[in-house]
Amino acid sequence: VWTGRGSELYDFALQHALAAQHWPDFAGGYYIFPYPPFFALLLAPLAALPPLLAKALASGVLLAACLGALLLARRSSAFVRQHFLFCLFYLLTFAPLQIAIVGVQNTALSLLCLALVFKARDAGRPLLMGLAAALLLYKPQFGVLIVCFLLGRGRRDELLGWGLGALLLYLLGILVLGPAWPLPWFQAATHFGDLNFTSNGHHMISLAGLLYWGGEVVLGSGARALPWAYLLSAGLLLLGVGYVRRDERRWVLVPVLVLLLSPQTLFYDVAIAVFFLLQDLRPGHPRDFLLLAAIWLYGILALMLRELVPFPLFSLLLLAILGWHVQSLRARASRSGRAWVAE
């Protein structure tokens, strides 16, 4: 894109050749770029820098995104507000997020986008909330799911903001690949998705990743289980949208549901669920700090075992956090009911 060859963006052979030229230590391996062209356009200036400097700058941006997400959460979360430095240290030392930042994976960007969505929601700014949700389209397996929850809310200004944001991103993509860019991008993303499960199936922590593992064990082929995994995820997404829309407090479940029901969620994205768990904790409660200690240690243990154990270990953590949120919501509803009866 930086050299004016945007039409070749999804030429995987060219991507391979460029990786071999700039990162010879990969020894023939390379990272495929399957993201939409507007994201490539925004990243293009990094190509003007030496590879190591570009990587260091990108890691610095990810660190800033993590800090920015915490600053956004500071006002709405009593736990983050009272334990801000602890939360920052905790996140930056949480093993999956460390891997993401050092390896220049985009978890922190997704974190920042979701934090902005929640900040705008809490501040009563629906247009901004929609725009923030549209930013997640840089990672469509997350961005498409969160707009489903916006549709479930059915609020015009939020959907208007999302539509304006999506239109702007589409127009940026035209600068790279022309007005029909969604077609070559979708073909590339589909091809990449198949390859990604082949090489990273045991790192996928979504429902699709769990069923892929189950297919490997039971059927001898994880790929045979994927169509059923996608169908089940779509059904659960519809149920999740209906469940969340009935109570505004249930919006805390949205980030975890997006991670769980996405077609592809890699292990380091579990840090997003941990971030929103931090926001929902109670300041000064020893049990909550014990919970965080257990999660932190599990992150290290699961990371050490991820290449030895074919099971997606971080999916258990994701499910545990979802269960914690559901139980917390039930406890709050019970307390509210008792308070109403007392009055």
d(CA 190, CA 184): 10
Strand-pair partners of 266: 204
**Closest-CA residue to 145 (of 134, 156, 160):** 134
> Looking at the predicted structure, is the pLDDT value of residue 170 above 80?
yes
pLDDT score for 339? 46
Cα separation, 115 vs 23, in Å, equals: 33
Query: Residue 170, CB half-sphere, CA atoms under 13 Å: how many?
Result: 10
Calculate mean pLDDT across residues 161-182: 95
Assign 29 a pLDDT band (cuts: 50, 70, 90).
low
Extract the tokens encoding 193: 């998705």
Structure tokens belonging to residue 108: 């922190």
Q: What is the mean pLDDT of the chain?
A: 90
pLDDT of the residue at 340? 44
**pLDDT over threshold 50, residue 323:** yes
Helix (H, G, I), strand (E, B) or coil at 74: helix
Give 197-256 pLDDT, tens digit per residue: 887 888 899 999 999 988 988 888 888 889 999 999 999 999 999 999 999 999 999 999
Give residue 341's pLDDT.
Answer: 38
What percent of the chain clears pLDDT 90, i.e. is strictly above it? 69
Cα Dmax for the chain: 72
pLDDT for the residue numbered 308: 84
CA distance 55 to 61: 10
What residue has token string 């960007």?
109
Question: Which one, of 276, 266, 260, lies nearest residue 69 by Cα?
Answer: 276
What confidence tens digit (pLDDT) does each residue in 114-144 have?
999 999 999 999 999 999 999 999 999 999 9
